[in-house]
Amino acid sequence: MSISAFNSERLADSGVQGIDDIQFLAAGLKIGEHIGQTIVTIRGIGMQQLAEGAETGAAIHTDGIYQSSRYDQARGYFDLERIEVLRGPQGTLYGRNATGGAINIITKAPTETFEVGFKADVGNYSLGGFEGFASGLEHSTSKVAAKFIVDESR
C-alpha cells in the first residue's frame, strides 16, 4: 500500500485551496472537473463514464464519512488537520468505490483553548468567498467547534 499524508502546515505552505490542488502533491493522483462534478483518478482508475449515478473507482472520505456526491467534493477546504492519499485497492478498509485508492480528508478536532480563524477571497466576475471557524467553545463537559463556508461565483 502506498500512502501520502500531508499535515496542515504542508497544505498551507503548498497553497492548497481545494481538492483539485492535492493532485500536485501526490504522485499518481489526477483531479479534474466536468460540468461541476469532481473527477478523481488514482493510478489511472476512476470514473469511466460521466452519467448521473455512475460509480467512481476512487473514494473520498471526510472525517470517515464517504462522499458519494461528486458535487460536494469540490468545496474548499479550510482548517484541516491532514489529507491522506492511499493508492491501490482499498476495498478492505473503505468498502466499495475504492478500487483505485482513497482520499481521506481529516478536519481539525475542537480544541480546549479558544481559537478563531477566517479567510476571504475576492476575484473578477463576481468571484468571492469567505471561510471561518471558531473552536474551543465549551459547553458543560463537551468541546464544540463551528465552521462555515460562503462561496459565490458566476
The answer on 133 and 100 residing in a single domain is no
Looking at the fold, whether 13 and 85 belong to one and the same domain comes out as yes
Alpha carbon 76 to its chain's center: 7
Residues near 29 by beta carbon (within 8 Å), at least 6 away in sequence: 22, 23, 40, 41, 42, 85, 87, 103
What is the pLDDT at residue 17?
A: 80
pLDDT at 67: 82
12 shares its domain with 86: yes
Residues 8, 69 share a domain: yes
Please check whether residues 142 and 94 belong to one and the same domain. no
**Residue type for position 60:** I
DSSP 8-state secondary structure symbol assigned to residue 112 = S
63 and 126 share one domain = no
Return the C-alpha cell found at 106. Answer: 481529516
**19 lies in the same domain as 91:** yes
What confidence score (pLDDT) does residue 111 get? 80
- Kindly give the parts of the chain with pLDDT less than 70: 48-54, 69-77, 137-141, 148-149, 151-154
Asked if residues 75 and 151 have their Cβ atoms less than 8 Å apart, the reply is yes
Residue 80 has what pLDDT? Answer: 85
- DSSP per residue over 78-121, as a string? -SEEEEEEEES--HHHH-TT-SSEEEEEEEPPPPSS-EEEEEEE
* Number of independent structural domains in the chain: 2
87 & 133 share domain:
no
Q: Compute, in degrees rounded to 10, the torsion defined by CA atoms 23, 50, 65, 120.
A: 50
What type of residue is 43?
Answer: R
Q: What is the CATH number for 19?
A: 2.170.130.10
Residue 129: its pLDDT value, please? 78
Residues 140 and 70 in one domain: no
User: Same structural domain for residues 101 and 137?
Assistant: no
My answer on whether 91 and 137 are in the same domain is no
Q: State whether 13 and 62 are in the same domain.
A: yes
Which residue type does 107 have? T
pTM confidence score: 0.75
Domain extent at residue 138: 115-152
